[in-house]
Amino acid sequence: MAFSPRERPFDVMSPLSTLRRFRPGVLAAAFATYVVFLGIGVVDPVLPTIAEAMGASHTMVELLFTSYILVMALAMLVSGPIATRLGDKRTMTLGVAFVVVFAGLCGLAPSIDALALLRGGWGLGNALFTTTVLAIIVGLSRGDTASSITLFEGALGMGIASGPLIGGFLGSLSWRYPFFAAAALAAVGLCITVFTVESPETAESEQSVRDVLGALRHPAVIGNALVGLLYTFAFFVVLAYTPLTLDLGAIGLGLVFFGWGAFLALGSVVVSSRLVSRYGAVTTMAGTLTAFVVILAAMGVAGPSARIALVVVSGLCCGISNAVLTTLAIEVSPFSRSISSASYNCLRWSGAAVAPVLSGYLGGQFGSATPFFLGAAVVALAVVGLLTSGDTLRTAVAAPEDAVGAD
C-alpha cells in the first residue's frame, strides 16, 4: 500500500499543521468518533463491580459486551443501505442520538438482563455511526484517504483509551456513573455533529442489504474481512475478558486499560503508517498478528503482574491492526464507501460478538488461561488466511476499481 502525493500519512511530528489540512466538519466527525468509541471501554473497569453488585457470573457479565457487539454486527447489514437513503450526516446523527439515549438508560438499569438489552441498543447506535463516520471523514478529506483514516483511527484509539480511565475513576464511586458520563459526552458530540458536520459532495445511490452481502463475494473484500473477524475475536478476549482475571479495583483496571489504549492510539497513528510505507500492508499485518499470537500465548502462562504488562503492550499490535485493516477495507473494495465499511464491519464485529461470553464460559469451566490460548490459535489462523490472500489484497490495492454505487 503506497501513498500517493495526495495521500500523505498523518505527520505526528507536526500534528497542528496536519490537522489544518482537514475541514472543520472532518475534525468534528473525529471528535464524535472519540466520544462514541469511548463507550466501548467505559464498562471495562466496572465489570467486576457490576458482577458483584448484581450477583452475576462471569458469563452473564460478559453479555454486556456480547449483546453490544452482536447487535452492532447485525445492524451493519442495514446501516449502509440506511445511509444511502437518509444521507450520511442524518444517519450519523441518528447513531449518536441512540448512543446518548441508551448510554443514559444503562446507568438506570435495574438488573444485568436489562443492562445487557440496553447495551444492545447502544450497539445499534454505534453501528449507524461507524458505517457513516468513516465515509464522511474520507469523503470530506478530498482524496487524502491515508491521512483521513489515520485521523479516524487515532480518534477511535483515544476514545477506547479514555473509556477505561473514565470508567475506572467514576466506577470507584458507582458503577452507574461511567454510563452517565458516556451519555453526557456523546450529547456534546451530537451537538457538534448537528451544527458542524456536512455530508460529502459525492452522493451514493440507494443500496440494499443484498448489496452489503454481495460485496463480500469480492475476493479481496472477503479476504480482508475474514482476517478482521479472526483478529477482532482476540481483540475482545483482551478487552472484555482480561479485566476479570487481574484482581484489580476499578481505578487499577482503568489505569491498565488506559495504558493499553494509549499504546493502541500510538500504533494506529504513528507506527502503522511507517511500517506500511516501508514493508507494505500485508507484510506489516503478518508480522503484527504474529507478535499478537506470541503475546496472547504468554498471557495464558503469565502471572498477574506480567499479564498486566502484556495487556498494555498488546495495545500496540491492536492499534497497528485496526489502522491497516480499516485502510484495506476501503482501498481493496470497488464498492461505495458506505457499502465497503458496512460489509467489512458486519463480518469483523460478528467475530467479536462471541468472544466475550465464550471467554467467560471457558475461563470458568477450564481455567482462566484457556481464552488466551484460544485467542492465540484464532489469530494464528488469521495469519494463515492473510498469507493465503496476500496476493489478492496486493493486486486490489495496486489496481483499484471505480467505486460501485457512487453517483
Mean pLDDT, residues 373-381 taken together: 97
Closest residue by Cα to residue 134 from 402, 397, 341: 341
CATH superfamily for 15-398 is: MFS general substrate transporter like domains (1.20.1250.20)
pLDDT at 303 over 50: yes
What's the burial of 17, exposed, middle or buried (CB within 10 Å: 0-12/13-18/19+)? exposed
Most confident of 1-15, 270-284, 296-310, 381-395: 296-310
Provide the mean pLDDT of the chain.
85
Residue 202's pLDDT is: 63
pLDDT band for position 204 (50/70/90)? Answer: low
Residue 59's pLDDT is: 79
- Cβ 328 vs Cβ 255: under 8 Å: no
292 vs 166: CA distance, rounded Å:
27
Q: What is the pTM of this model?
A: 0.83
State whether residue 405 is helix, strand or coil. Answer: coil
From residue 403, give the alpha-carbon distance in Å to each of 124, 141, 209, 223, 375.
Answer: 27, 17, 17, 18, 35
| Radius of gyration in angstroms for the set of CA atoms belonging to the chain, rounded to a whole number | 19
Q: What is the dihedral of CA 130, 136, 137, 141, to 10 degrees?
A: 160
Residue 318's pLDDT is: 95
Mean pLDDT, residues 8-19 taken together: 46
Runs of H (alpha helix) within 87-111: 88-106
Residue 377's pLDDT is: 98
Residue 144's pLDDT is: 64
Amino acid at 168: G
Residue 391's pLDDT is: 83
345 vs 12: CA distance, rounded Å:
27
Mean pLDDT, residues 183-211 taken together: 82
Residue 160's pLDDT is: 81
Residue 14's pLDDT is: 44
pLDDT band for position 19 (50/70/90)? Answer: low
Q: Which three cell numbers stand for residue 133?
A: 463516520
Q: DSSP characters for 267-302?
A: IIIIIHHHHHHHH-HHHHHHHHHHHHHHHHHHHHH-
Q: Could you give the angle at the alpha carbon of 346 between the alpha carbons of 290 and 103, nearest 5°?
A: 100
Most confident of 6-20, 141-155, 243-257, 304-318: 304-318
pLDDT band for position 78 (50/70/90)? Answer: confident
Who wins on pLDDT, 400 or 114?
Answer: 114
Q: What is the DSSP letter of 248?
A: -
Residue 143's pLDDT is: 57
Residue 106's pLDDT is: 94
Q: Could you give the angle at the alpha carbon of 28 between the alpha carbons of 22 and 30, nearest 5°?
A: 80
Amino acid at 149: I
Give pLDDT tens digits for 127-182: 899 878 877 887 777 656 667 777 887 788 788 878 888 888 898 899 999 999 99
Who wins on pLDDT, 291 or 360?
Answer: 291
The secondary element (H helix, E strand) that includes residue 161 is helix 145-171
Residues in contact with 182: Cβ distance below 8 Å, sequence separation at least 6, in sequence order: 35, 38, 39, 42, 99, 103, 163, 166
Residues in contact with 338: Cβ distance below 8 Å, sequence separation at least 6, in sequence order: 79, 80, 83, 84, 88, 131, 132, 135, 204, 207, 405
Q: Phi and psi for 204 in degrees, rounded to 5?
A: -115, 140
Q: What is the DSSP letter of 20?
A: T
State whether residue 69 is helix, strand or coil. Answer: helix
Mean pLDDT, residues 7-17 taken together: 44
What angle, 0 to 180 degrees and rounded to 10, lies between the N-to-C axes of helices 370-398 and 281-301? 180
Strand partners, 406: 204
Residues in contact with 41: Cβ distance below 8 Å, sequence separation at least 6, in sequence order: 159, 160, 161, 162, 163, 164, 167, 239, 257, 261
pLDDT at 274 over 70: yes
Give pLDDT tens digits for 312-347: 999 999 999 998 998 888 888 888 777 787 888 888
Give pLDDT tens digits for 25-52: 888 898 999 988 887 778 878 888 888 8
pLDDT at 62 over 90: no
Mean pLDDT, residues 252-266 taken together: 90
Closest residue by Cα to residue 100 from 81, 74, 128, 79: 128
State whether residue 141 is helix, strand or coil. Answer: coil
Give the start-end residues of each E strand in 267-392: none
Share of the chain above pLDDT 90, in %: 36
